[in-house]
A and B are shown apart, each in its own frame.
Chain A
Amino acid sequence: MTETVIYAARKIITMNSYQAEASHVAVRDGRILGVGALDDLTGWGDYRLDDRFGGKVLMPGFVEGHCHLMEGSIWRYHYVGFHSRTGPDGVVHEGLTSIEAVVDKLSRVEAAMPDGDAPLVAWGFDPIYFAGRRMDMNDMEKVSKTRPVVILHSNLHILNASRAVMVSANITADTNVEGIAKDAAGQPTGELQEMAAKYMALETIGLDYYTETAEKLALDNFGRIASQTGVTTATDLFNTAPEDAVRNLVAWTAQDDFRFRIVPAFGGASVPAAQGVARVAELIKLNNDKLRFGIVKLVTDGSIQGMTGRMKWPGYYNGLPNGVWNTGPDQLEGMVQAYHDAGLQVYIHTNADEASEVAINAIEAVLACSPRRDHRHTLQHCQMADESQFRRMAALGIGVNLFSNHIYYWGDEHRAKTMGPDRAKRVNAARTAERLGVPFAIHSDAPVTPLGPLFTAWCAVNRLTASGYTLGPNERISAASALQAITIGAAYSMKMDKEVGSIEVGKRADFAVLEDDPTVVAPEILRDVPVWGTVLGGHVFPARDGD
């Protein structure tokens, strides 16, 4: 018989309704044998009492329902974001709050690089905080006159290229392509958007940019960030499941030191639906306790701040034309029908409100044709949905995973440019979802914003923008609701709530180990509750080596 370990903690917050708090949890075979006081657990027989968490607070391991494995791979490049961010090695990369600071850091990086023309790549840049000043080639020339330098913006749809890059790509004042920013004199500034940006990333950085998310280093990096942030289950929300990447995932998730459970969502539009259905069926056979295929992701519109979201009337506040469909309404319905009929769960990316309407229409039509209870089809992001849409979602059994981090990172932008002061108040309307009974989770979309469920909860609770404005106070939710959303709520949205998401007998022994109690700290400092590390299936993973 395997060993039983009983962990004592300062407090255990279970997220389990019949027993909300406890002092001890017993673990056997990587699963939770019982929760309660020590006396409630000793009846299971011999045990070892482990009190290393005696001063700490245990919660169910956090579940990130919408992020990407790229959060692990992107750390190969140099972080130059406005906000401080902790790397996989635990090093805090201080936020760079001016273009000069970015140039200064990259100059130091460049000086340490061997001579030659290996590109210098940075990421996480966000000029919206620089009062209208944009980075240009003159700034970048201070980093290097000769080496190709590329700075990816935090949204990954825009980048800045150095003059060396622009010259070698022959992009000049005469290059007549959408997405090449030009100055008053008509000269390119080095800032490139969308297709032009993607082309340049591919040309300069090469294929690695796309294909290395399933590499061991990237997965290890992701695992370390997961331990630092209390995450034990995370999605990879767009995976075309190439054979070699799948082989890697299967092999590495089987190892005991793999730090998180991964739920890859299959890119449902990357192949014809019949082929996709067959592929997902094959992938499901490869599932193990840390790898869970079975979700299909479809994409309707683009992004709101990228001006590619599909908005209902009156459209973009700054008057720009409506965004683009990646999948149009008719095709979407056909795809949802095919995956739904195969018994699969569908996540639909919808950013602006016309996209959520089209997604709801599609699911409604599919359900009229093939009724199915508890399908748990979920709208992802769903940032602009209005109350009438949430009511339809409730009626149709559709769940939602809201992009609460957007309130902080782009809330000011939404107020000023994309939605205007009125509609911005309802961005990521968690309270409306809760009030109308739409099952909801909240997410980071890492690496677009940093992985960190307590930060995401803080966003949903406080709704503060980066400038300190409270955006739509009526849509704030309680800390208790937010903590539900990052545990059992997210687990429910991926149909894993019988396995993870609460500390309850029979479930996996996945815990977030916290230094403080998020249910009693002031809501304003919820994001500051320190994370000691995690426990995954009974294996302890401290965030910092040596703990």
Chain B
Amino acid sequence: MAIPLTVIGGFLGAGKTTLLNDLLAQDTGLRFAVVVNDFGDLAVDGDLLSAHGGDTVTLANGCICCTMGDDLLLAMMNLVRRPDPPEHILVEASGVADPRPIADIAVLHPGLIRDAVVVLADSELVEETAADQYVGDTVRRQLAAADLVILNKCDLLDDNDQNKVHHWVAGQAPNAAIVKARRARVPAEILFGAAMRLPASAAGHSRGHEDAFRVVSITLPRSLDESTFLAFAANLPKSVLRAKGIIRLRDRPGQWVFQLVGRRHELSPAENSPPENHLVFLGTPEMPGEAALRALLEVALRD
């Protein structure tokens, strides 16, 4: 099984480490690996170490943290080669790195699948940094590469300023869905789209994130028309951050995995999945509710 790879990008101070620390402290039910530049600010508590090998530590919950040293590619290939490979890999790109070539590794490597490029932006500072003489173009390039932008530290801005920066980021990141956050807190599913539980994800609000996110789960009564369904996917509002499903298509046998992150979506054949026909949507509070999404899907379900 190929391992999904998510790249976490964003300029220095945007909240990448906070996000990873938050994630490592949660019980996500997933044995994932985090690849970082260095353990510096990562809360890799000594007590948590259950094994230690070179610059890799295995945490008590089975998650792996490793440093990339001077060679990210080697570090990733070593992870894939492990006898107990992780179920998902998150790479924390350096603050000046372009996340796109890192995500490309997953396209090239048969042991990996490109999941998403998630870029954090400091909502207070991002516009200023993007105008900087030396690093401005780097910041703009990072945003342009994003499938999802986490607009972090929103609590530091009033509504008006939040809207302004949201609008500006939307212009810089035309392919991305944007999610507001404070202290880089987002549901783990945002980062682990490919590993989102199905169909167990309960509809309603995402756990621990009260009003900030919305989850809609829809069981489909019959097969979908492929082209109409893909048109539906392409036209989903940007308030849909992620979607995943195992579906049946009218003119193609078998079951299909549907994945959507930001503006990107794809269909691939499902292997060994239970006989179901189901979609889950994860989005911001503005995301259409179940009834509205069902209505949008109706065309694709028509005979």
A82 to B282, CA, bound (A): 56
> Would A202 and B77 be within 8 Å (CB), given that A325-B96, A329-B135 are in contact?
yes
Q: Report if A171 contacts B (CB, 8 A).
A: yes
Interface size for A (C-beta < 8 A) is: 38
A207 to B77, CA, bound (A): 11
Chain B residues with CB under 8 A of A330:
12
Contact (Cβ within 8 A) A195 B96: no
Interface residues of B in 78-137 (CB under 8 A from A): 94-98, 100-102, 104-105, 107-110, 134-135, 137
**CB-CB nearest in chain B for A211:** B74
Q: Report if A322 contacts B (CB, 8 A).
A: yes
Chain A residues with CB under 8 A of B40:
272
**CB-CB nearest in chain B for A175:** B107
Of A270, A322, A327, which one neighbours B69 at CB under 8 angstroms?
A270
Q: Report if B138 contacts A (CB, 8 A).
A: yes
Contact (Cβ within 8 A) A199 B96: no
Q: How many Å from the CB of A273 to the closest CB on chain B?
A: 10
Contact (Cβ within 8 A) B104 A177: yes
Contact (Cβ within 8 A) A269 B70: yes
Contact (Cβ within 8 A) B12 A328: yes
Contact (Cβ within 8 A) A178 B73: no
> Would A358 and B107 be within 8 Å (CB), given that A240-B69, A330-B12, A331-B96 are in contact?
no
Chain B residues with CB under 8 A of A310:
134
A223 to B67, CA, bound (A): 34
Contact (Cβ within 8 A) B73 A328: no
Q: How many Å from the CB of B242 to the closest CB on chain A?
A: 21
Contact (Cβ within 8 A) A199 B105: yes
Contact (Cβ within 8 A) B73 A195: yes
Q: Report if B38 contacts A (CB, 8 A).
A: yes
Q: Report if A267 contacts B (CB, 8 A).
A: yes
Contact (Cβ within 8 A) B101 A178: yes
Interface residues of A in 140-191 (CB under 8 A from B): 169-171, 175-179
Q: How many Å from the CB of A188 to the closest CB on chain B?
A: 12
Q: Report if A367 contacts B (CB, 8 A).
A: no
> Interface of chain A, helix or strand or loop or mixed?
loop
Chain A residues with CB under 8 A of B96:
324-328, 331
Contact (Cβ within 8 A) B95 A199: no
Give a binary string over A199-218; 1 marks a CB under 8 Å from any B CB, 0 the rest.
11010000100100000000
Contact (Cβ within 8 A) B108 A177: yes
Contact (Cβ within 8 A) B138 A325: yes
Contact (Cβ within 8 A) B69 A194: no
Q: Report if B303 contacts A (CB, 8 A).
A: no
Contact (Cβ within 8 A) A169 B108: yes
Chain B residues with CB under 8 A of A326:
96
Of A195, A238, A325, which one neighbours B105 at CB under 8 angstroms?
A195
Contact (Cβ within 8 A) B70 A328: no
Q: Report if B251 contacts A (CB, 8 A).
A: no
Q: How many Å from the CB of A280 to the closest CB on chain B?
A: 15
Q: Report if B271 contacts A (CB, 8 A).
A: no
A25 to B109, CA, bound (A): 60
Q: Report if A37 contacts B (CB, 8 A).
A: no
> Would A199 and B108 be within 8 Å (CB), given that A194-B101, A272-B38, A331-B95 are in contact?
yes
Of A169, A199, A238, A358, which one neighbours B73 at CB under 8 angstroms?
A199
Contact (Cβ within 8 A) A324 B107: no
CB-defined A-B contacts under 8 Å, sample of 5: A194-B101, A271-B69, A325-B135, A325-B138, A331-B96
Question: CB within 8 Å of B: which residues of A?
Answer: 169-171, 175-179, 194-196, 198-200, 202, 207, 210, 238, 240, 267, 269-272, 275, 310, 321-322, 324-331, 354, 358
**Further pairs besides A210-B71, A330-B12: 5, Cβ < 8 Å:** A175-B107, A178-B100, A322-B137, A328-B135, A331-B12
